[in-house]
Amino acid sequence: MAEAEATTYWDELTNPLNLVLIFFIVYLIYKILRSHFETVEPVSLPPPLPKLRKDMTVAELKKYDGTNEDGRVLLAVNGVIFDVTKGKRFYGPGGAYSAFAGKDATRGLGTGQVAASEKEYDDVSDLTKEEMDSAKEWEEQFREKYDIVGKLLKPGETPTNYDDETEDKKIQ
């Protein structure tokens, strides 16, 4: 009888499904033990960029499309320039909204088209009330999520001299 039980036990153990499960368990134990003995290289994050406070013309804004050495990405909405570098996967090179990088995104965000204005300065006066309301909603979202750099200068407008005390909310 003991011999019959041993044969049944051996048959169960060598069943193909059980062999796969045993192999899988041994593999998992190996991976767990190996992970405890490996040294993990610390991931070094790039140092944060210094806060930028500056009014810019459209031509100056173009330099901040994420392709420069520092990788900074700026865009403007309703005349306010935002540092969207922390959202670089969306706004930087190759991102879904990279067309807005280094540009005035008001028209594109207001109309729902992922294309920024190529004009020297786009006064967006031809947008409908609904499109302007949409752009204003986008601006509010950007104000909550990203740092304000300054304002987008109209032709002939002089830049503001910012100090450390200037609040982001004051920039219109």
* Sequence-distant (≥ 6) Cβ neighbours of residue 101 within 8 angstroms: 64, 65, 66, 73, 74, 75, 84, 91, 92, 93, 95
In a domain, 47, yes or no: no
In a domain, 44, yes or no: no
Question: Residue 17 — pLDDT band, cuts 50, 70, 90?
Answer: confident
Q: Would you say residue 164 has pLDDT above 80?
A: no
Q: Would you say residue 40 has pLDDT above 60?
A: yes
Residues 24 and 99 in one domain: no
pLDDT attached to residue 44: 66
In a domain, 69, yes or no: yes
In a domain, 48, yes or no: no
pLDDT digits (tens, 9 = 90+) for 41-93: 776 666 788 899 999 999 999 999 999 988 999 999 999 999 999 999 999 99
pLDDT digits (tens, 9 = 90+) for 123-158: 888 999 999 999 999 999 999 999 999 999 988 889
Q: At residue 51, what are phi and psi to the nearest 5 degrees?
A: -65, 135
Residues 72 and 106 in one domain: yes
Residues 125 and 86 in one domain: yes
In a domain, 52, yes or no: no
In a domain, 53, yes or no: no
Q: At residue 42, what are phi and psi to the nearest 5 degrees?
A: -65, 140
Residues 100 and 133 in one domain: yes
Residues 100 and 156 in one domain: yes
Residues 14 and 95 in one domain: no
Return the residue matching tokens 């930028």. Answer: 52
Q: What pTM does this model have?
A: 0.69
In a domain, 74, yes or no: yes
Question: Residue 37 — pLDDT band, cuts 50, 70, 90?
Answer: confident
Runs of H (alpha helix) within the chain: 2-13, 16-37, 58-61, 88-91, 106-111, 129-145
C-alpha to C-alpha distance for 137 and 152, rounded to whole angstroms: 18
Domain count, the chain: 2
Which structural domain, as residue segments, surrounds residue 14?
Answer: 2-37
Q: Which helix (H) or strand (E) holds 75?
A: strand 74-77
Average pLDDT over residues 101-121: 84
